[in-house]
Amino acid sequence: MKVILAEHCGFCYGVKRAVELACVCGQSAAAGQAQTLGPIIHNPQMVERLARQGVGVADSLEDIPAGGTVIIRSHGVGPSTYEAAEEKGLALVDATCPHVRKAQQAARQLAGEGYQVVVIGERQHPEVKSIVAWSGKQTIVVESVQEAQELAFFARIGVVVQTTFAGALFQAIVAVLRTKCDEIKVNRTICNATELRQKAAMELAGKVEVMLVVGGKNSSNTTKLARLAEESGCRTYHVETAQELRQHWFNNIDVVGVTAGASTPDWLIEEVMEKMQEFDQEMQETVAKIEKGSI
Ligand code: F3S
């Protein structure tokens, strides 16, 4: 059985950086003194591993004792969080992804230049909330073409987009926004990590008989990879860990594809690859026994 790993899969640059910063904090901060503001990534196994290293998860700054360390995750936060952390005397480790930081700064600049800021993205996503927090209360969030069509007319619209937003939908929304103003300034702040993973997953799903998608069931980017693989017509299993794999999934299967979301750590992918090797070894041994007539 051949197992092929997708060309682009697993941690993106921003998530890798955030997790590494959190690990360093776990090693240097006094035990239990460092906490991420919300789970660092949507991957329960990684969150658990960090907890064992002494890095906890806080729902708000109030949960972090004075003198402690707050780690800002890759989605970023608004300016009031930095101010509140300083007032409370917390040490702050900023793991905001540089791409997200760029979107926040662009939104702030547009607001300063007098544009009506429109953020294209998912309203409830923490990154979108952080961008809005940097550009002020007047900012409008648009999630769909329909929402863009319902907007009033503005003299000047300044656009920023959630880094993980789908490129095609972004273009369609911008096309509508162009009809809603006299002047438009568009910042295409999309990061290509998500798109690369999705394309690679679909390509691989077209070549293999079974696809394994590794990552948190609570991770929207991993779930999306599983959906895309399935929609490509390939039998697909979404697993969080190697322990969930079942040998009978691979009966009479010659080629298996493996991919993983941007929030899936390498060690979980490696464990899946190792387990697949074990299955393959066992299958070969069984075939050899059958051929010898010993079964
Ligand atoms: Fe950053 Fe792109 Fe990942 S914005 S967190 S590198 S998906």
For residue 164, give the ligand 1 atom closest to its CA: 7
CA of 77 to the centre of ligand 1 (A): 15
pLDDT at position 66, please? 87
Q: Whose CA is nearest to atom 7 of ligand 1?
A: 193
Alpha-carbon span 210 to 283, nearest angstrom? 16
pLDDT in tens, 144-172: 999 999 999 999 999 999 999 989 999 99
Using left for φ > 0, alpha for ψ between -120 and 50, and beta otherwise, residue 128 falls in alpha
**CATH 3.40.1010.20 is the classification of domain 99-187:** yes
Residue with tokens 């360093």: 24
Each domain of the chain, given as residue ranges in start order, spans 2-9+193-292, 13-97, 99-187
pLDDT at position 31, please? 58
pLDDT in tens, 54-112: 999 999 999 998 889 999 999 999 999 999 999 999 999 999 999 999 999 999 999 99
3-state secondary structure of 93: strand
The model's confidence at residue 292, banded by pLDDT at 50, 70 and 90, is confident
Using left for φ > 0, alpha for ψ between -120 and 50, and beta otherwise, residue 155 falls in alpha
Alpha-carbon span 278 to 257, nearest angstrom? 16
The CATH code belonging to domain 2-9+193-292 is 3.40.1010.20
The model's confidence at residue 27, banded by pLDDT at 50, 70 and 90, is confident
pLDDT at position 29, please? 66
Is pLDDT of 34 > 70?
yes
Alpha-carbon span 7 to 274, nearest angstrom? 18
CA of 15 to the centre of ligand 1 (A): 7
Tally Cβ neighbours within 10 Å of residue 28. Answer: 12
Q: Whose CA is nearest to atom 6 of ligand 1?
A: 14
Q: Indicate the top mutation candidate among 160, 162, 163 to test ligand 1's pocket, ranked by most ligand atoms within 8 A of CB.
A: 163
Looking at domain 13-97, which CATH architecture does it have? Answer: 3-Layer(aba) Sandwich (3.40)
Is pLDDT of 265 > 70?
yes
Residues with CB under 6 A from ligand 1: 12-15, 74, 97, 99-100, 163-164, 191, 193-194, 262
Complex-level ipTM beyond the 0.90 threshold: yes
CA of 251 to the centre of ligand 1 (A): 37
pLDDT in tens, 202-261: 999 999 999 999 999 988 889 999 999 999 999 999 999 999 999 999 999 999 999 999
Q: Which residues of 92-116 are buried (b: 16+ CB within 10 A; e: fewer)?
A: ebebbbebbbbbbbbbbbbbeeebb
What is the rounded average pLDDT of the residues 128-143?
A: 97
**Residue among 31, 21, 120, 33 nearest 73 (CA):** 21
The model's confidence at residue 20, banded by pLDDT at 50, 70 and 90, is very high
pLDDT at position 115, please? 98
3-state secondary structure of 92: strand
CA–CA distance from 108 to each of 114, 153, 275, 288 (Å)?
A: 10, 21, 48, 66
CA of 266 to the centre of ligand 1 (A): 16
The model's confidence at residue 30, banded by pLDDT at 50, 70 and 90, is low
Query: Which residues are catalytic, by number?
Result: 127
2-9+193-292 and 13-97 have identical folds: no
The one-letter code for the residue type at 94 is D
Residue with tokens 């952080």: 130
For residue 98, give the ligand 1 atom closest to its CA: 1
Q: Which residues of 122-159 are buried (b: 16+ CB within 10 A; e: fewer)?
A: beebbbbbbbbbbbeeebbbbbeeebbeebeebeebbb
Residue with tokens 């929609």: 231
Tokens of 14: 């921003």
Helices (H), the chain: 13-28, 44-52, 79-87, 98-112, 126-135, 145-149, 167-177, 193-205, 220-231, 266-292
pLDDT at position 74, please? 94
